[in-house]
Structure 1
Amino acid sequence: MRIDAHQHYWRYRAADFPWIDEQMVQLRQDFLPVDLTPLLAGRDFDGAITVQARQSLDETAQLLQWAESRGKADAVVGWVDITAADLARQLETLRHPRLRSFRHLVQDEPDPARWLHQPAVAAGMSELQRQGYAWDMLVTWRHLPELTAFAARHDAGWLVLDHLGKPDIARGATAWGEQVAELAAMPHVVCKLSGLVTEAPEGRWSAAQLRPFIEEALARFGPQRLMFGSDWPVCLLAANYDEVSQLLEDATDALTADEQAQIWGTTAARVYGLTGGESGSVFKR
């Protein structure tokens, strides 16, 4: 299976997407399954993981409807308030065969480190992992130490590092590798090779600049804990779909066929429990 493990849909209303500022003109429009399907087909993808872009239960429900409109290899990373006292009830209401993970926009919290250490977050994470859900982790490089401690506390299921933890491109891949080393050593943590083109200063990137980060990720996580994600349509701020895909194609062309298959779909199928992949936790139970 070939899976795009990170992309978004939305019907654009400015009030719903405060993170899309006036400079992001490319994103101030609708992006729907009908727009993504030909892009996936052009790169021989079998499916995609749709990830929440706003913190709304209504959005999660809509994403599930859109995922159902496509093939069996599509799934959703939704949102729920994991600090809610009635979280178990909300999860029961949301329960759906396409809902495989959740995410919170931790990077946008006033104090991400403090958010990660809340007792209510810990209780919510325990409930999510008890019910078999993965958790996508969205922070920048500034809070990777706190995220590492968070991951060590929550080791009962898959944790997914989005966009390599948004590395500081200017500091270089070696510095990022050292920063992420402890997190990458945890067997329940996987990483998405996604979002790099928009982390380059002002979106001005080159393959020579970004390829070392992919190589460092391979060294730290190994292909069995890496997955491709286009981050479409956010990637359009710096590159089109084919350019993002080709960047990783070129960076992984020396790997074995099995190693490439891990990155291009097997890891995502395993972590998100997609048809044709081994679902469930990294731990034998």
Structure 2
Amino acid sequence: MEKSHKIDAHQHFWKYDSQKHAWIDDSMAVLKRDYLPEDLEPILKKNQIDGCVAVQADQSDAETRFLLELSRKHSFIKGVVGWVDLKAKDLEDQLGEYSKYSQIKGFRHVLQDEADPEFILGDDFFNGLGQLSKYGFTYDILVFPKQLDAAVKAVRKLPHQKFVLDHLAKPQIGRDDSGLWKKGIKDLAQNDNTYCKLSGMVTETKWKAWKYGDFVPYMDYILENFGSKRLMFGSDWPVCNLSGEYNEVLGIVNQYVTSLSETEQKAILGNNAIEFYQL
């Protein structure tokens, strides 16, 4: 891709299935329907976003294949972050197979749902994580603040692996956070192989009752620690619909970056994602 495209580095697609998407409870009724490329494409066009990265929402190989198929049919889907069983005995074979598809950029596991805060450091899982860089795959870290310490340990042990933190590690925005989040972010950001997505913020506060200023201290802290070269915008569409429209979510980041240089703005709104995911 040419330089300076605007990229949404984090969104999802699904054909709604009440069992597969059991995490969507009754308070999330707006999400209980299909969300597919034909729903997102006009929204991206309206907001002048040139492309997106589709991220797994279900932990299955079928999910990765589903996203791959969508990316083949819709050129605005520039990359896929799928799921693979990092504990699988035949992981190397699976990664070798997936590496044949240029659309697949990396993988993610829903670490936030694991009861063990050190799940990422478990032998089998961590060994699997260590295989990804061999194939040039990235890894999205989805954790809560209490799991940041383990994520920091994993990242330090794998300096050649490219990582990106999803949703700022989900701090409780506007509520009194323990120092856990700040310490975890600071420690994680000291690793040059790790980026962070300015995504998922509107759902970590009172839904549809937030204001722009609620997010500024968190973005300030993220920018201070990661710097503008390791941040990227992500909408978390359609999950963001629980608390804000696409243009509102984009508006938070657009408004925030206005104080930065044009180069920094372009980096956060697209160029960093292009470089990180090799779009």
* Bin for the TM-score computed over the shorter chain: over 0.9
Whether 2:162 is the aligned partner of 1:161: answer no
d(CA) in 1 for partners of 2:120, 2:93: 22
Question: How many residues are paired up?
Answer: 273
Give deviations 1:158-217, integer Å, cap 9, x for gaps: 101000111132136987434310111110000000000001145532211112111211
| 8 Å CA contact 2:95, 2:135 repeated in 1 | no
Give deviations 1:3-25, integer Å, cap 9, x for gaps: 00000000001011111112110
d(CA) in 2 for partners of 1:173, 1:40: 36
d(CA) in 1 for partners of 2:155, 2:137: 15
Tell me how far 1:91 sits from its aligned partner: 1.7
Tell me how far 1:223 sits from its aligned partner: 0.9
Partner of 2:275: 270
**Cα RMSD between the aligned structures?**
1.6
Letter in structure 1 aligned against 2:215: L
| Matching of residues 194-233 of structure 1 within 5 Å | 194-202=199-207, 204-233=209-238
The 1:73–1:55 alpha-carbon spacing in structure 2 relative to 1, beyond 3 Å, is closer
Choose from 82, 86, 101 the match for 2:86: 82
Choose from 86, 93, 96 the match for 1:92: 96
Partner of 1:28: 32
d(CA) in 2 for partners of 1:176, 1:264: 24
| 8 Å CA contact 1:78, 1:99 repeated in 2 | yes
Partner of 2:240: 235
| 8 Å CA contact 1:141, 1:168 repeated in 2 | no
| Matching of residues 1-285 of structure 1 within 5 Å | 1-71=5-75, 74-95=78-99, 96-113=101-118, 115-169=119-173, 170-171=175-176, 176-202=181-207, 204-274=209-279
Tell me how far 1:30 sits from its aligned partner: 0.2
d(CA) in 2 for partners of 1:116, 1:180: 17
53-62 vs 121-130, greater mean Cα deviation: 121-130
Q: TM-score, normalised by structure 2?
A: 0.94
Tell me how far 1:92 sits from its aligned partner: 2.6
Letter in structure 1 aligned against 2:79: A
The 1:176–1:204 alpha-carbon spacing in structure 2 relative to 1, beyond 3 Å, is farther
d(CA) in 1 for partners of 2:79, 2:271: 14
